[in-house]
């Protein structure tokens, strides 16, 4: 391996190949579920250096077929699916894109920005805003995660309802292939039908087919106003009815539609008693709505109030409040964003990131709740998520007073099976926005159609025959 | 071949295998550029029959490697790139999806519709409208083209600006693979990160990787009002400035932004003198704008008028008219839609379907116009298209009075080279929305990056190793 390490040092400079000391920032995943051992952390500064690194590894592996050297691309290391950290073999190179963080070019008339993979999401949002434009991808880890990782995992977040996933925001890619060649596909075109859609193949492939080094992303006009409301709804079916009404009344102005179960909010109230809770927690479900308006705040407010009045009249909303100021709006979002932390303070729990067709959510939740209660009496469900996209974080917490660690040991496998079986019965997905990584690779092998898995394997074999790129993630070959 | 034909008759029924008589409806392409000879036209009625047909062909070809049997999937046969008709070998099966035209299921709460590949686009639009919903894909051939063809070629059209291409409207697919297996991927999910994006690989692959038999497509709320305006703009740069202003002022309400050069409209005025032309043709360019509104017509009108007033003030518009009625709006669209016919009446011409980044369109047109005038003095440019997507139909007509057929014979190759070279210099695409088919397969081999072509070839080889599916289209293997 020494010759390979020497070669890597030659390519990126000795200062950017780490092999000693505490490498846990790169070796340990975000949720601390896995701590691997890297052969080296390599931090190239340019696309050309990335290509040289990949080529060096490919050549080395060709010459030493049993060496086990492979490459794990890494951005901000915020994967929730253990997709970007090395395994324990000590043979994997972590290829960090952090030094490639430039915004190469913002083209206001084309509504696009070309950005390197290591650019932190929040930096890109801010850069767009400076140009009075919006880069709409928004998610909890935005202060740390990178565009390359967002694209590799096809990240979702809170504005998918209106602007789509990371995939939908991407027009072009620059990619270093598994052979160390550079595909210059940084198109800023909204229409381009010249052959197979390689872009979307790399987006969401979690670094298993090649390395995204830069991307051209869509921008939007900055809304003139953005308002937030919290509504109590009598049931999940009412939440779905409210969504349909909001689509009709607000059109593309509807940019956020988050659902929160009563128990989720009760955990927030319990662990963060200082947070003001503007509505009584008596309702079984709550919806957080966001309305973006290209006219004025006055127009936005009248639109929003009309919607909520119609919803109150129709009965799908029992109570509602529209934030009066930006700080009130932030408080409402803060309640939503505090759920994961409140949940953690309540104790370990079994997390899911699932989706089902929106129309089937009420039945899915009713059926799955019942199955879980039957299997584990007293189990508590922290159910919240992006209802507008059919995406629920349907998390399972130990019965009140039970030992949470013991609960996980006893029930995690069984709960996963029960929830995923139910998801499958409702034509859903076992990984809506977090990806597969190594965490769900075996689940995927079980739940994905064999025909689809066969095609995935054929594509992996075609583009990365050495299995050099992030092996063991997404699928085993 | 007889045993294969017998087998196909057994699968779909004798009445649905055509081998005799006038088959030009299937053998000749839409623009009559090519008339091939089919071994048979086979019209399966179900996904299972499609799978059996493919399997029978695959098995036959395996047993008779030199027989040359292959499959050309066909929908409404409206390809503008000769992508769906057989070659002259007499060895190709035209697999027509026309009998598979059912709308399987419309799910209003999920805003999705699941539809078979042979469903005519207009029928789907109407079915959505009956449910007070919008299926926004809209293009000239909508009365004939099918959803399967729209997806196979990733069709564009006039509302891409707001709703995206066929690709962006698709959530899930059912596909018969080149091995005759069925991939049941009819997901109605807006978030699903379970592995490689096979959906987008089949979308736009023009039947070369497998056969799309059904799809789940997105629906939108029907707008409450839709208004159309025609604006005269002093230059293409002003048209780009108007686009930016319209994005800011109308937000997602901007659903159409078509540009038309003066000469395009003068041809319409010449060949269709009965069509009312609401503005003087003195301006070098005109823009057709469409504003969709989820509130009211009154709101839409005030928004639209405010935009145009601001544009007049800013100087990027010199004159404008907003249609006062639906029939006036139709008249404005009719002007735009009459350009291709007016052009044809003026004589044969060299058509292009190109895109460049919107910000570069003025420079691209200036530079390419000059190169063409230099090469062929007096040449006339019929320049129009979907400026909002960067997509121009930049067509080249013989100098006034010249023999058009002779012009094509003398100049087609040279004009194509000149235009495509210029497109490439401006980071554009030589096929924006029509696809590659067999018409542009050699151009693609020349202009596409070798790295991209290499990956495309590897994927084709991986998924269709027999080269059974629509060979010679998109890329040669």
The pLDDT value given to residue A225: 96
Complex ipTM, two decimals?
0.97
Q: Of B107, B191, B389, which is closest to A389 when you measure between CB atoms?
A: B191
Q: Would you place residue A1 in the very low, low, confident or very high pLDDT band (cuts 50, 70, 90)?
A: confident
> Which residue reads 């349909």 in tokens?
A244
> Which residues 161-180 in chain A show a CB within 8 A of chain B?
161-162, 164-165, 167-168, 177
Write the DSSP string, A189-211.
-S---SSS-HHHHHTTSTTSSEE
- Span B275-293, pLDDT tens digits: 999 999 999 999 999 999 9
Q: Of A200, A429, A459, which is closest to B459 when you measure between CB atoms?
A: A459
The pLDDT value given to residue A33: 87
pLDDT > 90? residue B410: yes
Distance to chain A for B232, nearest Cα, Å: 20
Find, among A468, A476, A431, A477, the residue nearest to A207 by Cα. A468
Distance to chain A for B460, nearest Cα, Å: 9
Judged by a CB distance cut-off of 8 A, whether residue B290 touches chain A is no
Q: Region B155-163: what's the mean pLDDT?
A: 94
> Which residues 138-157 in chain B show a CB within 8 A of chain A?
153-154, 156
Distance to chain A for B272, nearest Cα, Å: 31
pTM: 0.97
Find, among A220, A317, A335, the residue nearest to A269 by Cα. A335
Which residues of chain A are within 8 Å of residue B181 when distances are taken between CB atoms? 451, 454
Distance to chain A for B304, nearest Cα, Å: 12
Cα angle, residue A71 at apex, residues A70 and A72 outer, rounded to 5°: 130
Write the DSSP string, B290-348.
EEEESS-HHHHHHHHHHHHHHHHHHTS-SEEEE-SSHHHHHHHHHHHHTHHHHHHHH--
Judged by a CB distance cut-off of 8 A, whether residue A282 touches chain B is no
Number of A/B CB contacts below 8 angstroms equals 279
Cβ atoms of A119 and A101 within 8 Å: the answer is yes
The pLDDT value given to residue A477: 87
Q: Of B183, B428, B462, which is closest to A462 when you measure between CB atoms?
A: B462
- Total residue length of chain A: 477
Strand A391-397, strand A349-350: pairing = antiparallel
Cβ–Cβ below 8 Å for B359 and A448: no
Cβ–Cβ below 8 Å for A183 and B357: no
Q: Which of A51, A193, A440 to mutate to test the interface with B (most CBs of B within 10 A)?
A: A193
How far does Cα A231 stand from its chain's mean position? 25
> Which residues 73-112 in chain B show a CB within 8 A of chain A?
107-112
- Span B426-436, pLDDT tens digits: 999 999 999 99
- 3-state SS, residue B25: helix
The pLDDT value given to residue B431: 97
The pLDDT value given to residue B147: 98
Cβ–Cβ below 8 Å for A154 and B193: yes
Task: For A182, name the nearest residue in chain B, comparing CA atoms only.
Answer: B451
pLDDT > 90? residue B191: yes
The pLDDT value given to residue B118: 98
Q: Region B151-166: what's the mean pLDDT?
A: 96
Judged by a CB distance cut-off of 8 A, whether residue B198 touches chain A is yes
Q: Of B197, B248, B358, which is closest to A201 when you measure between CB atoms?
A: B197
Q: Would you place residue A31 in the very low, low, confident or very high pLDDT band (cuts 50, 70, 90)?
A: confident
Q: A369 Cβ partners below 8 Å, 6+ apart?
A: A381
Cβ–Cβ below 8 Å for A183 and B449: yes
Which residues of chain A are within 8 Å of residue B251 when distances are taken between CB atoms? 221, 223, 252-253, 293-294
Q: How many Cα atoms are found within 13 Å in the side-chain-facing hemisphere of A316?
A: 17
Judged by a CB distance cut-off of 8 A, whether residue A237 touches chain B is no
Helix, strand, coil content of chain A in percent (nearest 5): 40, 25, 35
- 3-state SS, residue B370: helix
pLDDT > 90? residue B440: yes
> Which residues 307-346 in chain B show a CB within 8 A of chain A?
none
Judged by a CB distance cut-off of 8 A, whether residue A305 touches chain B is no
The pLDDT value given to residue B194: 97
Which pair of structure tokens corresponds to residue B100?
């598979």
Judged by a CB distance cut-off of 8 A, whether residue B453 touches chain A is yes
The pLDDT value given to residue B33: 87
Find, among A228, A462, A435, the residue nearest to A322 by Cα. A228
The pLDDT value given to residue B213: 98
Which residues of chain B are within 8 Å of residue A198 when distances are taken between CB atoms? 452, 455-456
Judged by a CB distance cut-off of 8 A, whether residue A360 touches chain B is yes
Q: Would you place residue A401 in the very low, low, confident or very high pLDDT band (cuts 50, 70, 90)?
A: very high
User: What average pLDDT does chain B have?
Assistant: 96
User: What average pLDDT does chain A have?
Assistant: 96
Q: Of A182, A191, A250, which is closest to B165 when you measure between CB atoms?
A: A191
Residue A284 CA to residue A255 CA, distance in Å, equals 23
Q: Region A258-265: what's the mean pLDDT?
A: 97
Q: Of A160, A204, A294, which is closest to B197 when you measure between CB atoms?
A: A204
- 3-state SS, residue A216: strand
Task: For B112, name the nearest residue in chain A, comparing CA atoms only.
Answer: A357
Task: For B435, name the nearest residue in chain A, comparing CA atoms only.
Answer: A193
Percentage, residues of chain A above pLDDT 90: 98
Q: Region B321-335: what's the mean pLDDT?
A: 95
Percentage, residues of chain B above pLDDT 70: 100
Judged by a CB distance cut-off of 8 A, whether residue B433 touches chain A is yes
Q: Of A164, A194, A240, which is closest to B430 when you measure between CB atoms?
A: A194
Task: For B173, name the nearest residue in chain A, comparing CA atoms only.
Answer: A452
Partners of B106 in beta bridges? B113
Cβ atoms of B428 and B354 within 8 Å: the answer is yes
Cβ–Cβ below 8 Å for B449 and A184: yes
Cβ–Cβ below 8 Å for A458 and B453: no
Which pair of structure tokens corresponds to residue B310?
């601001």
- Span A98-150, pLDDT tens digits: 999 999 999 999 999 999 999 999 999 999 999 999 999 999 999 999 999 99
Q: How many Cα atoms are found within 13 Å in the side-chain-facing hemisphere of A173?
A: 30
Judged by a CB distance cut-off of 8 A, whether residue B252 touches chain A is yes
Which residues of chain B are within 8 Å of residue A436 when distances are taken between CB atoms? 193-195
Q: Region A374-388: what's the mean pLDDT?
A: 96
pLDDT > 90? residue A378: yes
pLDDT > 90? residue B477: no
Distance to chain B for A15, nearest Cα, Å: 31
Distance to chain A for B265, nearest Cα, Å: 24
Judged by a CB distance cut-off of 8 A, whether residue A359 touches chain B is yes
Which residues of chain A are within 8 Å of residue B447 when distances are taken between CB atoms? 194
Q: Of B223, B294, B448, which is closest to A249 when you measure between CB atoms?
A: B294
Q: Of B161, B183, B436, which is closest to A449 when you measure between CB atoms?
A: B183
The pLDDT value given to residue A297: 96
- Span A294-341, pLDDT tens digits: 999 999 999 999 999 999 999 999 999 999 999 999 999 999 999 999
Which pair of structure tokens corresponds to residue A390?
């059919």
Judged by a CB distance cut-off of 8 A, whether residue A200 touches chain B is yes
Judged by a CB distance cut-off of 8 A, whether residue A390 touches chain B is yes
The pLDDT value given to residue B31: 86
Cβ–Cβ below 8 Å for B188 and A456: no
Q: Would you place residue B1 in the very low, low, confident or very high pLDDT band (cuts 50, 70, 90)?
A: confident
Q: A442 Cβ partners below 8 Å, 6+ apart?
A: none
Judged by a CB distance cut-off of 8 A, whether residue B447 touches chain A is yes
Cβ–Cβ below 8 Å for B195 and A474: yes
């Amino acid at each position: 391996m020494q010759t390979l390490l020497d070669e890597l040092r030659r390519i990126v400079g000795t200062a950017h190949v780490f092999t000693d000391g505490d490498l846990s920032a790169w070796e340990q995943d975000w949720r601390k579920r896995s701590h691997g051992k890297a052969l080296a952390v390599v931090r190239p500064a340019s696309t050309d250096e990335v290509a040289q690194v990949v080529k060096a590894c490919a050549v080395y592996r060709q010459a030493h077929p049993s060496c086990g050297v492979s490459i794990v691309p890494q951005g901000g290391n915020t994967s929730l699916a253990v997709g970007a950290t090395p395994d324990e073999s000590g043979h994997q190179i972590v290829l960090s894109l952090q030094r490639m963080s430039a915004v190469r070019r913002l083209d206001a008339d084309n509504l696009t920005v070309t950005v390197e993979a290591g650019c932190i999401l929040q930096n890109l949002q801010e850069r767009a805003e400076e140009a009075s434009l919006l880069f709409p991808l928004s998610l909890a880890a935005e202060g740390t995660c990178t565009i390359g990782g967002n694209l590799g995992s096809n990240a979702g977040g809170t504005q998918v309802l209106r602007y789509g996933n990371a995939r939908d925001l991407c027009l072009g890619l620059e990619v270093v292939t598994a052979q160390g060649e550079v595909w210059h596909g940084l198109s800023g075109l909204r229409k381009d039908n010249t052959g197979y859609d390689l872009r979307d193949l790399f987006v969401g492939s979690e670094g298993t087919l090649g390395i995204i080094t830069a991307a051209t992303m869509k921008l939007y006009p900055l809304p003139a106003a953005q308002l937030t409301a919290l509504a109590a709804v009598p049931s999940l079916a009412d939440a779905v009815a409210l969504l349909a009404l909001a689509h009709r009344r607000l059109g593309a102005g509807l940019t956020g539609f988050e659902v929160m179960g009563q128990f989720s909010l009760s955990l927030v109230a319990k662990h963060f008693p200082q947070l003001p809770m503007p509505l009584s927690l008596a309702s079984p479900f709550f919806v957080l709505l966001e309305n973006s308006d290209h006219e004025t705040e006055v127009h936005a407010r009248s639109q929003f109030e009309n919607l909520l009045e119609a919803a109150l009249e129709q009965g799908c909303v029992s109570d509602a409040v529209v934030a009066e100021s930006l700080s009130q709006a932030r408080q409402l979002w803060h309640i939503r964003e505090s759920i994961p932390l409140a949940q953690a303070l309540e104790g370990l729990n079994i997390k899911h990131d699932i989706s089902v067709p929106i129309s089937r959510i009420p039945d899915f939740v009713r059926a799955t709740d019942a199955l879980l209660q039957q299997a584990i009496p007293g189990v508590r469900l922290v159910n919240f998520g992006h209802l507008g996209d059919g995406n629920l974080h349907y998390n399972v917490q130990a019965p009140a007073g039970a030992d949470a660690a013991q609960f996980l040991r006893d029930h995690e496998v069984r709960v996963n099976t029960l929830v995923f079986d139910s998801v499958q019965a409702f034509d859903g997905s076992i990984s809506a926005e977090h990806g597969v990584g190594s965490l769900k690779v075996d689940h995927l092998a079980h739940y994905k159609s064999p025909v689809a898995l066969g095609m995935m394997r054929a594509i992996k074999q075609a583009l990365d025959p050495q299995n050099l790129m992030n092996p063991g993630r997404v699928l085993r070959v």
